[in-house]
Amino acid sequence: MKKKLPVILGVIGTVLLAWFLANTYKAHRLYDNNVNTANYTALPVMTEGQYLSQTFTAREDTIDAVGLKANLSGSYAAAQVTVTLKDAETGEVLAQKTESGTEIRPRKVHDFFLGPVTGCKDRLLTLEVTQTGSTPADGVIFYFQGGAGEEEPLLVSGTEYDAVLVMRTQTKGFDVERFISLLLAEWFIWGFMWALYRLFSSN
């Protein structure tokens, strides 16, 4: 039994590690992630009264966050970005989040944590982005990718563009595929190390 104990503990440990790592955020991107980021187009800094509006079909039942590729321009500390998630058909506000320019991660897809917002799957939703405390030179910049694809065209202060925001939705949950992949990888490493141990201990 004592000889089997390390093996049992090892199996339990790998299962727990894989389970922990498989509880993660799953992203659904509206944009094509395979396109070189150099092909993204920066929008001018929005000022009060201007807005971005992106309508899309939700792929998951729950949305915990929305991510937007962002950058910072000039003196951005006074800028306040508000993202509002709405039902595209009824206009009902489902969630809203405001963050200052100092909270935005530059040159990355920055996540605004909204949720959880439930009952979203296959529902037509609209994300509206506004900004206050900014000037044309000072504030937060967002990006779009040409070609709307399966999504609705991007609206910039009421003007329609054949484009889509560089945007993703995030859903936290248990990823079965990730769990199985991690478990197999861990067991492969364990088996490889055990084989090496047996090989060198027999010499």
Per-residue pLDDT 10s for the chain (203 aa) are 566 676 677 777 777 776 777 677 889 999 998 888 888 999 999 999 999 999 999 999 999 999 999 999 999 999 999 999 999 999 999 999 999 999 999 999 999 999 899 999 999 999 999 999 999 999 999 999 998 777 889 999 999 999 999 999 999 876 778 778 888 888 888 888 878 877 887 66
- Residue 131 sits in a domain whose CATH number is 2.60.120
Handedness of CA 172, 40, 142, 83 (dihedral sign): negative
> In whole angstroms, how far apart are CA 16 and each of 4, 11, 21, 68?
19, 9, 9, 33
Handedness of CA 26, 63, 127, 122 (dihedral sign): positive
Q: Per the structure, how many domains does the chain have?
A: 1
> Which residue segment(s) compose the domain that 143 sits in?
5-201
Q: What is the pTM of this model?
A: 0.80
